[in-house]
Amino acid sequence: MQKHWSKVEYLHQSVKNPNIIVKGTKSYYSNAWTENFENYVVRYLYGDAYSLQHWQPQWPIDKLYIGNCVCIGAETVILMGGNNTHRNDWFSNYPFMEKIVESYRQKGDTHIDDGVWIGMRSMILPGVHLGEGCVIAAGSIVAKDVEPYTIVGGNPAKPIKKRFEDFVIQELLALKIYDRSDEELDRIQAALCSDDLNLLKKELNQLK
């Protein structure tokens, strides 16, 4: 298939690494200018064809969890834990193979929650949790967790503003919108594509 900026890669169709867990069918990567999601975006994660064939894990493998309706911009990089062997508390931070197991420090799983939008050329560092509905400005380097429905940007990424008032954010989280099936999400598109909280509640109640 010829690549074009108007076409995207749906992750549930392309991801093969067992350590990448994708929820739903709507999350995508804008791959028009790069290789696919696994080959370009995700770095240092055991579970690709080469690592499965040539290596035995020496430590617990961190996982990448991706929610539904996640939008990942072109040339994003998600760093995982496979290279966490550079020890700044040692005199040398070089990863000598004889000390590789001892040098490893686990960062933990990376979570990209439902409805997150990651701007192009952003970098997500290992073990970060991106909360529901947050926005990562283009070119940001995210080293810390991001609160739900918060816009962050910069290097290192810092909060710019919240998308909605606190009480609205709490209600959105309580509604658990993205626990609905993809078919149900399609049925409430009109409410999702608005800022009318009462309409959203009404549409969700009608699904019951």
Whether 111 is catalytic:
no
SS3 category, 149: coil
Single-letter amino acid code for the residue at 96:
F
DSSP codes of every residue in 73-133:
-TT-EEE-GGG----TTSS-----GGGHHHH------EEE-TT-EE-TT-EE-TT-EE-TT
From the DSSP assignment, how many helices (H) and strands (E) are in the chain? 7, 15
Radius of gyration of the chain from Cα atoms? 19
Tell me how far apart the terminal alpha carbons of the chain are, to the nearest angstrom. 40
Selected catalytic residue, list 54, 86, 111, 129:
86
Active site amino acids: 86
